[in-house]
């Protein structure tokens, strides 16, 4: 290797934020475990030590989508990353896929693992599940970061709703044809869930009694006013909307996402005393 190529290789290798980690998050046989919950085998991985931090992924990913966050937060926390139903290594089950069912699944997981004072970080669909956990299954929860979540399908931009609808229709057509090129049952379930759920009302959000960081960005799939509406209806809430970022910010700009989350979760809740109504 000539001197220029060697210098280039070393420069890239030691760039800030360049990860030398080769841990196969989401398929790590050394730490991966299964747990039977509500008649379904759910897969999870645990990294690090300290206060428990539960990561809940979005609709189209699994544990592996949290790689930058696991690597970052496991240095200080006990990170529990789980594949929700039908994603990654977890079973889909025979029930229709719902946000409420997944919220119940994870509340049982917390109980079965005997976790206490859990910080939940959910992105996209995981943010929805986190909100439902805070509303209906708050036992064991300390605080919640809900990123890129909607409380109703109408909280999505119309373009997103159309894409979800088209994907759901395509999946149902492929199922009717008996096509096996893809797991069309899972595609149908995922897109039907996003198209017709969730249905979280203002009075539901007002039941939340733990601190919540409502996060989004100004180029998200969620209407900015909808994100603000969620924030306004949670008493102990803070709001963070990152400029110029998109829905995939946790993966595309993990340094920013991680720093915002770490700054918030590591400090006592602030703001209730000066929040005007």
216, 241 in Cβ contact below 8 A? yes
Whether residue 222 is contained in a domain is answered as yes
How far apart are the C-alpha atoms of 149 and 186, rounded to whole Å? 21
Whether residue 11 is contained in a domain is answered as no
Helix axes 184-196, 158-177, angle to 10 degrees: 150
Residues 260, 176 share a domain:
no
pLDDT of residue 97: 96
Does the N-terminal peptide bond of residue 152 adopt cis geometry, omega within 30 degrees of 0?
no
How far apart are the C-alpha atoms of 246 and 225, rounded to whole Å? 16
Residues 173, 53 share a domain:
no
> What value does the CA radius of gyration of the chain take, rounded to a whole number of Å?
19
Helix axes 125-136, 99-112, angle to 10 degrees: 70
Whether residue 7 is contained in a domain is answered as no
Task: Report the first-to-last Cα separation within the chain, whole angstroms.
Answer: 65
pLDDT of residue 180: 96
Per-residue pLDDT tens for 192-235? 999 999 999 999 999 999 999 999 999 999 999 999 999 999 99
How far apart are the C-alpha atoms of 82 and 107, rounded to whole Å? 12
Residues 34, 128 share a domain:
yes
Two tokens at 31?
A: 């730490």
Residues 148, 223 share a domain:
yes
Residues 168, 56 share a domain:
no
Whether residue 12 is contained in a domain is answered as no
Residues of the chain with pLDDT under 50: 1-19
Two tokens at 242?
A: 């990152």
């Amino acid at each position: 290797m000539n001197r220029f190529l060697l210098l280039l290789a070393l420069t890239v290798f030691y760039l800030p934020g360049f990860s030398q980690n080769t841990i196969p998050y989401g398929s790590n046989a050394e730490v991966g475990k299964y747990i039977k919950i509500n008649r379904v085998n759910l897969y999870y991985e645990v990294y690090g030590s300290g206060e428990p931090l539960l990561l809940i992924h979005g609709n189209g990913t699994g544990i592996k989508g949290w790689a930058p966050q696991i690597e970052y937060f496991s240095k200080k926390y006990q990170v529990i990353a789980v594949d929700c139903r039908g994603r990654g290594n977890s079973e889909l089950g025979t029930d229709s896929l719902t946000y409420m069912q997944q919220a119940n699944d994870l509340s049982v997981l917390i109980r079965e693992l005997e976790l206490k004072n859990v910080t939940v970080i959910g992105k996209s669909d995981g943010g929805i599940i986190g909100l439902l956990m805070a509303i209906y299954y708050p036992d064991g929860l300390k605080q919640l970061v809900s990123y890129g979540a909607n409380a109703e399908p109408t909280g999505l931009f119309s373009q997103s709703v159309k894409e979800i609808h088209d994907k759901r229709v395509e999946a149902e057509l492929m199922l009717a044809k008996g096509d096996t090129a893809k797991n069309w049952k899972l595609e149908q379930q995922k897109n039907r869930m996003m198209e017709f759920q969730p249905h979280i009302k203002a009075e539901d959000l007002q039941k939340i009694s733990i601190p919540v960081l409502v996060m989004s960005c100004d180029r998200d799939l969620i209407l900015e006013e909808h994100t603000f509406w969620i924030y306004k209806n949670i008493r102990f809430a803070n709001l963070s909307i990152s400029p110029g970022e998109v829905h995939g910010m946790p993966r595309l700009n993990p340094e920013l996402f991680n720093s915002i989350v770490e700054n918030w979760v590591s400090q006592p809740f602030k703001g209730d005393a000066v929040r005007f109504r």
